[in-house]
Amino acid sequence: MGLEPERVVRKNKNSRRPVAEYVKQKWKEWLQTHRIELNAMTTPNFLRWLDDKIALTGQGKLIQPEAVLTKELHDKVQETLKQTLTELILKENEELKPVHDEKAKRLAKDVTKDLEKKPTQSWRDPVKRVAINLAENSNAE
């Protein structure tokens, strides 16, 4: 391809760089002390070279190791369960909306009473307590 190799000097003489398994042993050793800058290629040449290297593996896609695939599977199952459960909870909440609306009508009075008892708290605190109470009671039903 006409690319000039460069000599590599490593600070730690014992450190080795990984080399692809398809590379023959003599080239693995050579690559420990030499490199070729791929960005010296034109874009079309680089893409052709890359396509050829991918074709050598017989696959167009990289298949991840088993541990990565397993983690991805667990993550996707958990994500799907969270989404499904969230949708179920929100659907149940819609069914309880009339109860919540009824409580909301009395909420201003409840917040006022609560703030009279604890004037330094935020008005959000009693609203949060009412919301927690409603959520816990809807779970019990």
**Per-residue pLDDT at 121:** 92
Chain mean position to CA 34: 37
State the average pLDDT for the chain.
85
Q: What is the pLDDT of residues 51-102, one digit of tens each?
A: 888 887 776 677 788 999 999 999 999 999 999 999 988 887 777 777 777 7
Bridge partners for 7 per DSSP: 34
6 strand-pairing partners: 35
What the block records as the tokens of 35 is: 């490199």
The ranges assigned to domains in the chain are 6-57, 96-141
Is residue 68 within 8 Å of 103, Cβ to Cβ? no
Note the pTM of the prediction, 2 decimals.
Answer: 0.38
